[in-house]
Chain A
C-alpha cells in the first residue's frame, strides 16, 4: 500500500518535473504550480487525502509528500530565475547601441604655454623658499631706470627701446616698464629694516620694448628674482640658478656657465649660459654638445641701488636675476617662433597649450606629461 502510493507519487513527481522542464513561459509555469501545489492541485489532493490513512502510513507518506512539495517548489523557482535571466538577456540584446558613434561637444580648453612656464618657475622657486610678487606695467622713470642706477644719459638706456606715455601737466612722462627689475625697488622699499632677516622673491610679468621683428615683440614676459639678506653671496646666486636651470630643463647634468657681464643695477654681474648642441637644421638640443646658450642675466645687487632704497650695503647684500620667459618656453617645448605667442590662433593654442588638469608641481612633474 505504502510502496504503491510512493510509486504513484514518484510517477507524478517525474511528470511534473518534465513539464516544468519543458515549460516555455512564466504563465505555463504558473499553471503547473497551480495544477500541482494549488488548492486543487494533484499534490495538494494527496495531502488532503492523508487523513484517510493509518497513522504509520500518514507519517511516512506525509514526510514523503512534503519532500516532493519542496522539490517542486525549488524546480519552479529555478525555472523562474532561468526565465528572468533569459528575459534580461533578451532585453539587453534589444538595447544594444552603436558604440562607434561619438557625440560632438566642445573640446576641453588649453592653458597658454607661457602661463605654464610661469607656473613651472613658481613651483621651482617656491621649493627654494621664494614668494611671487607683482608690480605695475606703467612705471615712472625713477623705478624703471634711475633707482636701478641707470641715469638719464646712461648708454644702457638706449638699449632699452622704451615706450613712453603722454607727458602729464608737469612734463613728466611715464614709461611701460622695459624689464621687471623696477619691482625689485618697489619690494625693497617696503622692507621694514627693524625686523628684517631675508627676502626671496620672484616677479613674473609683462614687459615692453618698442621693437618688432621675427625675434622681438613689443610686449614680452620676464621673470625677475631677488634674494636679499645678511650673508648672501655670489655662491648662493650660482647655487640657486644652477638648481633652477637643471630643474626647469629636467637635466641632472646640464652644464651651466657663469660669464662676467654688465647690468647697471648689479655688481658683479653674470650672464648664465646653458650647454646645448646646435643641430644642422638650426634646432637646439639642450644639455649636451659644444655650444652655449645665454638664458638669463644676474648679479649681486649694486650697492648704490641698495643705498637708494635706504638699505646699508655693508650690512645687507643679495642677488638678483632676470630671464625672458618666451625664450625659456620656446627652448623647453620646441616652439620655433615667437610671434604666434600673441596671435590667439586656435590651432597653435591647441597644439602648444596644456590641459588644465596638469598642474605643474615638483611632486606631479614639471614637464607636461599628457599635453
Chain B
C-alpha cells in the first residue's frame, strides 16, 4: 500500500514530522517497506520554454531546438514528436543524472549537431511509463524552476506492508485512524457534502438471490451522473495516482482509483450509454458465460461466480473487474457509479479460479467497511462534480440490514493474555479512538465493533488492538520459570542417533550435505520410487517433480557436480527423510553416504588406494556401533536393492528389519550420472534399530582377566562358496568361553589351492580365565577347533 505524506495529512491533523510518523507505523503493525521522495531525484530538472525549433539537417526525425530557462538559452537536439515552438517542458542540463535512463548526461553531438542537454519524457523522470513525447507543462508555468516545484512533486511516497487482516488500512484514511489512536494527531472528519441529487437514477439495481444466498451481495449502491466532461485529470490528481503506481487514464477512472486508495473503497463506473436497458442485475454466472474485462482479456466463466449484467450479457465480474463493453472512455458523458459489498470468499474463489488479480479484488477479499457504500456515494459525487462537472441523480440501492457486531469483553483478560497492566480508562480510550463503542455492564464491556473492522471477531483480537496501540514495548519481558522437575534431554533417542552418526561420519572424512527432498521422475523410478501419490502437481521444474525414494540419487548428483568443478575424491552424507508413501509413517529418516575416488592418493609414502566396498562396510559398522545397534544381532545378506552392484553390495538386518544397504552403486546407474569410477554408497534406516532395553543408568559389571591371552594361527581349505566370515563364527563356537576373538588374516585362491576351494588363514585369541592354560589344554582346544571347522564347514586344516 502506497500513499504520500500530503495525502496522509488530508486525513490526519498532526504536528508530528515525517520521521516521527515513520517510526510509529511499524509499532502499530504497519511495516514501512520504503520511503521515496521523487523531488530529491528531480531537483536538477528545470522548466524551460522552447523558443526555436528547426529540422535537423541530417536526420528526418530529429529537431534542433533552442530552450530558454529565463536567463540562458541552450541548444538541444530533440527527437520527440510533440515538440513545438512556445511549448513549456522539462529540461535536464549536462551533468544531470537521468533516473529513467540510469545515466549521467554528457555533452553530445548528434549527427553533427551539438546538444547541451535533454528535453525529458515522463518515463525519463520515472513519473510514468509514458515515453510518447516530452512532458508538456502548463503554459502558465514559471521558467527556470525546479520541476518538483512546478509539477508539485515534493511529496514523499511511503509504502507500507499491510497484513491480510488489515483491509481497513488499504486506504489512507485507515492508516490515519491508527496513527491518531496512537497519539500521532487527530483524525479529520471526512469532507462530505450530503447532496441527495436532483433526478431519479437512469440505471437501477436488480438483486435476485435466494434467501440462503443473500449473503453473497448484502449491499449495493449506485447513482447516475450526466453532462460530464471526462478529460484528463488535474495535475494534483494525476501526481497522486502516479505516486502510488496508478496510471492516470481519464478523470472518471482516476477518481474511482483515487477514492479506492483514499478510503480503501473500490468503485466501478459504467458508461450509461453503453448499458443495454436500464437495469443492472447482480447474479451468479452460468458455466460458459463469457466476459471481456477491462484488462483486454476474455474470460470464460464457471458456475456460481458473482457477475453483473445488463439486458445484453454479463459485463462485470463483481468486485474484481469491470467489463470492456460498458466501461467509460474519454467520450463518456453519462456515468453510473457502483459501490457494493460482496462476499469475500466468493470473490477470492472466483479470482483464484480465473487467476485474475486486481486492486479491487485485493480489497474485497480482505473485507470492506460495511457502511462504505452509503458514504462513498456522497463523497464521490462531490468529487466528480468538481472535476467533471455535470449533475448527479438520487441514490439507488439494495441492502440487507446488518446488526451491530458486539463482543462481551472482560477487561481482566488484557493482563491475563498480554502480561501488561493497562488502566481501564486508557484501554477504553484506545478502543474508542479506533472506532469501537463501549457500554460497561457491571464488570464486562459490551464492545460494538466498527463497520470497517470485519477482521475483529474475538476477545484476543480486542486485546491485540489495545496492546498494539499502547505499544508492544510496554509488555514486560518475563523469564520462563524452570519447571520443578529435573531437566530432561531435549533430544529424543532418534535425534541423538542422528547427532552421533553425523559426528562419526564427519570424523571419517564425510562432508555433510543438505539436498532437496524432491528429484526428477527418472531418478525416482531408478530408485524404486515414482509413485503417483508422491508426484507434485505443481513442481518448480521438471527436475524436481517427485518426492525422493532414496537420498543416494541426490548424493550421486553431488558427486557429478563436484567432478564438474574439478574435485576428485570426496565423501558426502546426508541425514534426512525419504518417502515411501504420503502418510506420516511412510516418511523414513535415513543416514545416507557416498564415497567416490581414492581413499589414499599415490604419494611419496604409498600407492593409491580406491574407496571400495569394505571401506563403506566399515563406515556402516562404525556408525551402527555409535548409534546403539546391537552388534551381535546384525546379520549380513547379499540382498541389496537393484541400484547396487549385485556382486559388491550387502544388507545388514536385525531379524526381518533392514538396517542398512551398502556397496558399489550399479555401474549402469553410475553411467547415467556420467561417473567413470564406481561410487560406493550406504543407506542406514536407523528407525529400524531396536531401542536399547537397558533401563538402568549404571553399566553392567566389567569382568576382566589378568592372565596373558594366547594366540594361535590356522589355515583352512574350504569351499569357495562359503562366506569367509562364517569361519570366524564357527571357530568361535569351538569354545565360547575361552576364544575371545577370531580374525581373518588372509583369503587366498589360486595356485596350490584346489578348484572351487579357498584358503582362509585365521588368528584365534584365547583368553584364559582362571589359570594359565597348559600346552595340553591348548592342544585340546586347537584340535576341537579344527574338528568343529571340519564338521560344520567341511574345512580341512592346511599346512602352511
Contacts and interface: CB of A to CB of B under 8 A. Distances in A.
B540 interface: yes
Given A168-B533, A259-B31, A109 B464 contact: no
Contact of A131 (B490, B534, B600): B490
Contact of B29 (A111, A198, A242, A259): A259
B478 A235 contact: yes
Nearest to A155: B164
Interface in A203-255: 206, 208, 210-212, 218-219, 227, 233-236, 238-240, 242-243
A342 interface: yes
Contact of A227 (B29, B480, B502): B480
B256 interface: no
A113 to B, nearest CB: 9
B490 A206 contact: no
Contacts of A101: 604-605
Contacts of A163: 536-539
A115 interface: yes
Interface string A111-138: 1101100010010011011111111111
Interface in A169-202: 173-174, 176, 197-198, 200, 202
A238 B476 contact: yes
Contacts of B132: none
A283 interface: no
A363 interface: no
A342 B515 contact: yes
Contact of A137 (B31, B165, B517): B517
Contacts of B699: none
Contacts of A262: 29, 163-166
B460 A112 contact: no
A371 B106 CA distance: 52
Contact of B569 (A106, A125, A233): A106
Nearest to B162: A262
A353 B536 CA distance: 32
Given A234-B475, A236-B419, A302-B460, A261 B534 contact: no
B468 A260 contact: yes
B420 A235 contact: yes
A267 B460 contact: yes
Interface string A297-310: 00010111000000
B480 A240 contact: yes
A211 B352 CA distance: 18
Nearest to A168: B533
A111 B509 contact: no
A43 interface: no
Interface in B512-531: 512-518
B748 interface: no
A345 B562 contact: yes
A96 interface: no
Contacts of B502: 111, 115, 356
B460 A303 contact: yes
Tell me which of B477, B565, B583 has the highest count of chain A C-beta atoms within 10 A of its own C-beta.
B477
Contacts of B366: 155
A210 B538 contact: yes
A239 B606 contact: no
A184 to B, nearest CB: 15
Interface stretch (B142-150, B380-388, B481-489, B646-654): B481-489
B524 to A, nearest CB: 13
Contacts of A317: 416-417
A129 B487 contact: yes
A234 B577 contact: no
Contacts of A258: 472-473, 475
Interface in B392-443: 415-420
Contacts of B517: 137, 176, 206, 208, 219
Contacts of B476: 235, 238
B479 interface: yes
Interface string B248-282: 00000000000000000000000000000000000
A14 to B, nearest CB: 52
B344 A104 contact: no
Contacts of B472: 258-260, 270
B112 interface: no
A128 B491 contact: no
A341 interface: yes
B547 interface: yes
B480 to A, nearest CB: 5
Contacts of B419: 233-236, 238
B477 A344 contact: no
Interface residues of B, number: 103
Interface in B614-648: none
A193 B772 CA distance: 65
Interface in A77-113: 101, 103-112
Contacts, number: 272
B544 interface: yes
B711 interface: no
B605 A103 contact: yes
A234 B473 CA distance: 11
Nearest to A240: B480
Interface string B571-597: 111001101001110010000000000
A233 B517 CA distance: 37
A264 B418 CA distance: 18
B696 interface: no
Contact of B468 (A129, A219, A268, A356): A268
A27 B6 CA distance: 113
B478 A239 contact: yes
A49 interface: no
A76 B510 CA distance: 61
A233 B509 contact: no
A3 B354 CA distance: 135
Contact of A105 (B27, B511, B513, B600): B600
A268 B463 contact: yes
A198 B485 CA distance: 12
A218 B516 contact: yes
A153 interface: yes
A350 interface: yes
B536 A164 contact: yes
A357 B504 CA distance: 9
Contacts of A355: 506
Interface string B358-371: 00000001100000
B538 A122 contact: no
B599 interface: yes
B533 A165 contact: yes
Contact of B458 (A132, A234, A304, A344): A304
A297 B511 CA distance: 32
A11 B496 CA distance: 83
Contacts of B166: 262
A344 B562 contact: yes
A202 B29 CA distance: 26
Contacts of B537: 163-167, 173
Contact of A206 (B489, B535, B576, B606): B576
A346 B27 contact: no
A272 to B, nearest CB: 10
Nearest to B604: A101
Given A136-B584, A356-B502, 8 more contacts: A106-B571, A174-B533, A212-B541, A233-B417, A234-B418, A235-B477, A342-B516, A347-B567
Interface of B: 26-29, 31, 163-166, 344-345, 348-349, 352, 365-366, 415-420, 458-461, 463-464, 467-468, 472-473, 475-480, 482-483, 487-492, 494-495, 499, 502-503, 505-518, 532-541, 544, 547, 555, 557-558, 561-562, 565, 567, 569-573, 576-577, 579, 582-584, 587, 599-601, 603-606
**Shortest 4 CB-CB contacts between residues of A and residues of B:** A235-B419, A260-B29, A262-B163, A126-B490
19 contacts: A122-B491, A131-B490, A132-B492, A132-B495, A138-B534, A138-B547, A138-B583, A165-B535, A167-B537, A168-B533, A219-B516, A234-B418, A238-B419, A239-B478, A239-B480, A261-B29, A342-B513, A353-B511, A356-B505
